[in-house]
């Protein structure tokens, strides 16, 4: 008895690969063929066939299922690579022993990264403040910390959410490093000291409270006037 595949897509070899010699762009008009292209395992697709598919994208309508699928795959891959590059950059900075980035190329990369951080949550704001500090923009760094301190406790905790951005997650995972490096920076630490007081006043996380006690800048309380 001769066995045949359950689905035979007109020249689409289901078991092995697409038949490039029998392919033309008109085949993409078939909804079955469209489904075959989208669902077929990517690691098995013939490279020559994939090139032909991409050439067809020039004549396909933007709403065509295959064109939308390929566009989404390209965007996803680009986004993943971008996120990975940013995480690697952040990891490199966080593991550095220096308090200031002087390498111009790295500095420009950090400036670009700062522009990508929206700062919608307090974790993102803290990361942004830290990065400004690392490129020497102390004023902007302190101004961001002041926006956190000026929040009521209710507003502060509204910034927490279940779904975190890569910036939220990175700050959460490396909070110890970020706070320690910010506390050791040679710039005036008064605003940072006020941040530690704020966090101690409205937080009951024992690990965080212990960390804040450990990194509190020396002699800062003597600089506080009544206005603070």
**Tell me: the pLDDT tens digits for 34-92?**
776 666 666 555 566 667 777 777 777 777 777 777 776 655 455 556 678 888 889 88
Angle at alpha carbon of residue 106, lines to 86 and 83, rounded to 5°: 5
- Span 120-146, pLDDT tens digits: 889 999 999 999 999 999 999 999 999
Distance CA 99, CA 166 (A): 23
Q: Report how far residue 154's alpha carbon sits from residue 168's, in angstroms, rounded to the nearest whole number.
A: 19
Q: Per-residue pLDDT averaged across 6-18, rounded?
A: 43
Does the pLDDT value for residue 22 go beyond 60? Answer: yes
Residue 107 burial by CB count (10 A; 0-12/13-18/19+): exposed, middle or buried?
Answer: middle
- Locate the DSSP E strands across 2-93: none
Overall pTM > 0.85 = no
């Amino acid at each position: 008895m001769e066995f045949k595949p359950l689905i035979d897509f007109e020249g689409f070899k289901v078991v092995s690969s697409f038949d490039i010699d029998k392919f033309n762009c008109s085949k993409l008009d078939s909804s079955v063929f469209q489904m075959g292209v989208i669902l077929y395992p990517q690691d098995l697709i013939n490279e020559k066939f994939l090139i032909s598919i991409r050439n067809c994208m020039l004549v396909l309508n933007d709403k065509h299922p295959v064109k939308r699928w390929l566009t989404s795959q390209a965007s996803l891959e680009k986004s993943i690579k971008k996120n990975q590059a940013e995480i690697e950059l952040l990891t490199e900075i966080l593991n550095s022993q220096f308090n200031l980035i002087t390498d111009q190329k790295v500095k420009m990369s950090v400036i670009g990264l700062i522009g990508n951080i929206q700062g919608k949550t307090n974790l993102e704001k803290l990361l942004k403040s830290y990065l400004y500090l690392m490129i020497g923009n102390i004023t902007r760094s302190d101004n961001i910390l002041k926006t956190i301190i000026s929040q009521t406790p209710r507003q502060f905790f509204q910034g927490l959410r279940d779904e975190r951005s890569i910036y939220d997650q990175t700050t959460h995972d490396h909070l110890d490093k970020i706070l320690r490096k910010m506390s050791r920076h040679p710039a005036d630490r008064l605003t940072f000291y006020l941040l530690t007081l704020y966090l101690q006043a409205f937080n009951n996380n024992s690990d965080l409270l212990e960390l804040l006690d450990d990194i509190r800048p020396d002699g800062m309380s003597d600089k506080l006037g009544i206005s603070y």
